[in-house]
Amino acid sequence: MDIQGTVAVVTGGGTGIGAAVAERLARKGAAAVVVNYSRSAAEAEATAARLRSSGCASEAVAADVSDDAAVRRLAERVRAGYGRADLLVCNAGTTRWVPFPDLEALTDEVWEQVMGVNLMGAFYCARAFAPDLRAARGAIVNVASISGHRALGSSLAYGVSKAALLQLTRGLAVALAPEVRVNAVSPGTVETRWHVDRLGEQGFAEMTAKEQARVPLRRTARPEDIARMVTALLEADMVTGETLIGDGGKHLVY
């Protein structure tokens, strides 16, 4: 699909990977990019402002993707404001940092929060925007994680939610065919505030230095690296139900 002239929605689009995706879509000629956010209001507004300054229509719209009614209101707002939606990038995500052996810490509240955003959020968005995407013969890309492929990451619940998202991607690729293609990207470690807020600047630097020493490509991904993967899948007209791993080859030497 040619991104030129399209209307795109990026959930969790205010920061990190989401912001990089929104900016890349604008550079590739999207007519409008709706930047969804839940908590990062200032960052989402700043992202939307950057897009507008580049000539791409954009606005930041608050919606908790784990709330089906909020997602449906988001879809209606996009419909009313832009008349259609051609591309959907489900990037919104959350986690709770819980050591794998600490099963007692995985309370129902933890599971509900993590699964609600990472899995149900993507489903709610796909369902709400399905009529528009079908009409446009559009595309969806879900942002998963290497944690959905391997037993690693911030918590067991996070990994399960991302593995489920990969299966949702495959299922939606069948459910929405032939009009809509659905794919996923699975990043490894990415230079975002997600890790820095958790580990601090020095802690993150130390962690990535150790990782780079054994990862085949010997570097840590930037948000822009993942954004290129996302747009490549949006444009790949004969690809659906697939997952592109972007971890520098980390999974090969796991």
The domain in which residue 163 lies consists of: 7-243
pLDDT in tens, 64-77: 999 999 999 999 99
With a pLDDT cut of 70, the percent of the chain lying above it is: 100
Average pLDDT for residues 164-174, to the nearest whole number?
A: 98
pLDDT in tens, 217-232: 999 999 999 999 999 9
What CATH number is attached to the domain comprising 84? 3.40.50.720
Q: Round the average pLDDT of the chain to a whole number and report it.
A: 95
Confidence of residue 211 (pLDDT cuts 50, 70, 90): confident
Over 80: is that where the pLDDT of 196 sits? no
Residues catalogued as catalytic: 158
The pLDDT of residue 79:
97
The pLDDT of residue 241:
98
Q: Is residue 1 part of a domain?
A: no
Confidence of residue 203 (pLDDT cuts 50, 70, 90): confident
Q: Is residue 20 part of a domain?
A: yes
Over 90: is that where the pLDDT of 253 sits? no
Amino acid 133 reads L
In which residue are the tokens 């900016």 written? 23
Q: Is residue 181 part of a domain?
A: yes
- N-term to C-term CA, the chain: 34
Q: Is residue 2 part of a domain?
A: no
Taken in order 57, 63, 67, 72, the sign of the CA dihedral is negative
Whether residue 101 has a cis bond before it, omega within 30° of 0: no
Q: Is residue 15 part of a domain?
A: yes
Q: Is residue 18 part of a domain?
A: yes
Q: How many domains does the chain have?
A: 1
Q: Is residue 232 part of a domain?
A: yes
The pLDDT of residue 111:
97
Q: Is residue 180 part of a domain?
A: yes
pLDDT in tens, 89-133: 999 999 998 999 999 999 999 999 999 999 999 999 999 999 999
For the chain, give the secondary structure using H, E and C: CCCCCCEEEEECCCCHHHHHHHHHHHHCCCCEEEEEECCCHHHHHHHHHHHHHCCCEEEEEECCCCCHHHHHHHHHHHHHHHCCCCEEEECCCCCCCCCCCCHHHCCHHHHHHHHHHHHHHHHHHHHHHHHHHHHHCCEEEEECCHHHCCCCCCCHHHHHHHHHHHHHHHHHHHHCCCCCEEEEEEECCECCHHHHHHHHHHHHHHHHHHHHHHCCCCCCECHHHHHHHHHHHHHCCCCCCCEEEECCCHHHHC
